[in-house]
Structure 1
Amino acid sequence: MRRNGPQGPERGRAVSGPGRLRGVVAMDGPSGTGKSTVSRRLAIAGEAAYLDTGAMYRAATLAVLRAGLDEQSPAEDITAVAVAAELESITDPAAPRILLDGEDVEAEIRGGPVTMLVSAVSAQPTVRAVLVERQRKLIAEALGTVGGIVVEGRDIGSVVAPDAELKVYLTASEEVRAARRGAQDRKAGRAGDHETTLADVRRRDRLDSTRATSPLHAAPDALILDTDDLSVDAVLDELLRLVTERGLVS
């Protein structure tokens, strides 16, 4: 695995950075809350690294699928393939990527087959233990080089980086999140209807929040931010305010 520092701006509203971000910002929440977009933009504004831990679980899931396994396969077989997968995370927020065996699979891991299986793969205790250790190494590397990192996922503030200087848990209603997911799919050329997407959102929520290992939940000291009625720019403005208020910028 390797990390790269930020190299360029992301399209969208120009953001005047508050200064260089230092420390760890943990961004948690279910899918469709806008975590990826605002996390990347915060990292760009703060000249920090960015890590999408969900992409790591998705890439490991793709390895499981390529091995011919599915949800009905023995858990030990799924785990063996997932933990053996050669993953490389590029933590440049302007162009984040995940490589599987040296191949850029960023687009493929967002497809339907991976989405349907990723909760089952990520629920395996050994898979989570191995990937959490890799995530912590990437965080340590970022802190030692660029000085700060924005990490997004479902257990960052509670498990991966419990000592993060700022923990934010994004929420939104199921309907809103399904609409956002559908818009993302259409933009990426993936077919789907609202009811199917809504059902998948509910399925992912149920699986992620009830798994035995590192279930989805807000850390006790996380700030809860409901994004139902907030634009991406509004959420970003609030995050910029928080990192400045916490003294996390140089």
Structure 2
Amino acid sequence: MPTIAIDGPAAAGKGTLSRRIADAYGYHHLDTGLTYRAVAKAMLDQGFALDDERLAVDAARGLDLSQLDRAVLSAHAIGEVASRIAVMPDMRRELVEAQRRFSRRYPGAVLDGRDIGTVVCPDAEVKLYVTASADVRAQRRLDEIRANGGSGDFDTVLADLVKRDARDMGRADSPLKPAADAHLIDTSEMGIEAAFQAAKAIIDARLK
């Protein structure tokens, strides 16, 4: 049961690419970022103190990874809270174990996130690190916000992304970084089809 681990910063395109790969190979897909967002939403919904790790662990234990609603969990406010609570080590360990169980699903699984190739699935058959320049990622995120009926300006979105990158890369527990054996795909000047073909060539070569 092959596991494909895909990491990278926000708005680099790894989510779209991961779903495309999962569809092409008939594998299960998990956006691990949604698991943190689901914990954040549960804590917000129940009025929990956002710095209470014990309550965050309880929320993580109650998650059903097959019932994550991307449309609901994509809200900007939930994402901000998710990035804050993602530094909690006990809560992270709870979610990592759930993600590892998911990675063993038949006939294979594609997991995308920040620490899949380094922490969650270090023995994954294929590891990809998908990135893009901060300016390109900020414009993509702004376009996404506007397409969903929201509003914003480039400088604010860029500042948010840079701040989030620093938080994700600088945390002591499971920082965002490419695995030593990950294949780099820079999507700064790639559309989804070009990125998919680049990824497919790497995957096919590794799995044959």
Q: Distance in 1 between matches of 2:3 and 2:205?
A: 15
Give the TM-score normalised by structure 1: 0.79
Q: How far did 1:107 drift?
A: 2.2
Q: Distance in 2 between matches of 1:58 and 1:81?
A: 15
Equivalent residues of 1:111, 1:190 under 8 A apart: no
Equivalent residues of 2:48, 2:55 under 8 A apart: no
- Which secondary structure state, in structure 2, belongs to the residue aligned with residue 50 of structure 1? strand
Counterpart for residue 111 of structure 1: 75
Counterpart for residue 148 of structure 1: 108
- Which secondary structure state, in structure 2, belongs to the residue aligned with residue 246 of structure 1? helix
**1:239 and 2:184 correspond:** no
- Which secondary structure state, in structure 1, belongs to the residue aligned with residue 166 of structure 2? helix
Q: Which amino acid aligns with 1:186?
A: R
Equivalent residues of 1:169, 1:225 under 8 A apart: yes
Equivalent residues of 1:63, 1:81 under 8 A apart: no
Equivalent residues of 2:130, 2:184 under 8 A apart: yes
**1:187 and 2:134 correspond:** no
- Which secondary structure state, in structure 2, belongs to the residue aligned with residue 229 of structure 1? coil
Q: Distance in 2 between matches of 1:171 and 1:106?
A: 21
Point out 4+ residue stretches in structure 1 off by more than 4 angstroms. Answer: none
Q: Structure 2 stretches of 5 or more lacking a match?
A: none
Q: Distance in 1 between matches of 2:145 and 2:112?
A: 20
Give the aligned CA root-mean-square deviation in angstroms.
Answer: 1.4
Task: State the identity %.
Answer: 40
Deviation per residue, 1:169-206 (Å, 9 max, x gap): 01111110011111111222222221111111011101
Deviation per residue, 1:100-153 (Å, 9 max, x gap): xxxxx432321121122211101100111000001011112x1xx3x2111100
Counterpart for residue 101 of structure 1: none
- Pick one of 35, 45, 49 that aligns with 2:24: 45
Q: How far did 1:69 drift?
A: 4.2
Counterpart for residue 88 of structure 1: 64
Q: Which amino acid aligns with 2:8?
A: G
Counterpart for residue 127 of structure 1: 91
Deviation per residue, 1:77-115 (Å, 9 max, x gap): 2x222221221122xxxxxx50xxxxxx43232112112
Q: Which has the higher helix share?
A: 2
- Pick one of 22, 31, 54 that aligns with 2:10: 31
Q: Which amino acid aligns with 2:77?
A: P
Equivalent residues of 1:67, 1:81 under 8 A apart: no
Give the TM-score normalised by structure 2: 0.94
Aligned residues: 206
Select the structure of larger CA radius of gyration.
Answer: 1
